[in-house]
Amino acid sequence: MSLLSRLIDKHIAAYQRQLIETHYEEVETMYRQMRGWRHDYRNHIQTMKAYAASGDMESIRQYLDHLDTDLNTVDTVIKTGNPMADAILNSKISLAKSKHIPVRATAFIPVKLTISDLDLCVILGNLFDNAIDASLELPEEERLIRVYMDMKNTQLYISFTNFTAGKKLTRSGKRFLTTKGPGHGFGLVRIDAIIRRLDGYLSRSSEDGAFTTEILIPQL
């Protein structure tokens, strides 16, 4: 193996470790919020019982409105049927919303996947991070990320689309050049390596002001 190849592998490994750590922290933050709300559940019930005992229906209404708002901040938006996909998608949707990026996501995984949680995390995390980074370059009113996941016969289908302000990205071979500058793009390399190893299919297209990545991964 050449020195250049070893350096590339080292950079990719470091990027993967950083990626997993980042995703883990995001997921942990989301579930910490959920655990905190559940921990307080009994206290919420006792408070409303006290209001009810005194006949203070207006206070109950206001308290329920407050709880509804609080719960919406930690509610799981996507329930695919796969715990890892749920964790990554929901944490990234929460991250996108915090950056004022709307997300339209539809995901169904009704079967047990053969792809490892690590590979699934790398693929979904990178696709979402790239879509978020690209969306931040647009005015808020033009931002949108579309996510679709489902089984197509025996293959897992994944599709990510984000807008690019009418710009058509530059292709170099089978890849589109990253706009993030030197030192970036390892996420795309990592995705490509996983898809090749799993005998999957990957397509990237930049058309009509939108960038789309489509993936098929056999699950037999």
pLDDT digits (tens, 9 = 90+) for 91-149: 888 889 889 999 999 999 988 899 988 888 889 988 999 999 999 999 999 999 999 99
What crossing angle do the helices spanning 3-39 and 117-135 adopt, rounded to 10°? 90
Q: What is the pLDDT of residue 146?
A: 95
Q: Is residue 57 part of a domain?
A: no
CATH number where 146 lies: 3.30.565.10
Q: Is residue 52 part of a domain?
A: no
Range of the domain at 188: 77-218
Q: Is residue 59 part of a domain?
A: no
Q: What is the pTM for the complete model shown?
A: 0.66
Q: Is residue 151 part of a domain?
A: yes
Domain count, the chain: 1
Give the model confidence (pLDDT) of 160-202 as tens digits: 999 886 655 555 445 544 545 444 456 788 899 999 999 999 9
Tell me the β-bridge partners of 90. Answer: none
| Residue 186 Ramachandran class (φ > 0 left, ψ -120 to 50 alpha, else beta) | alpha
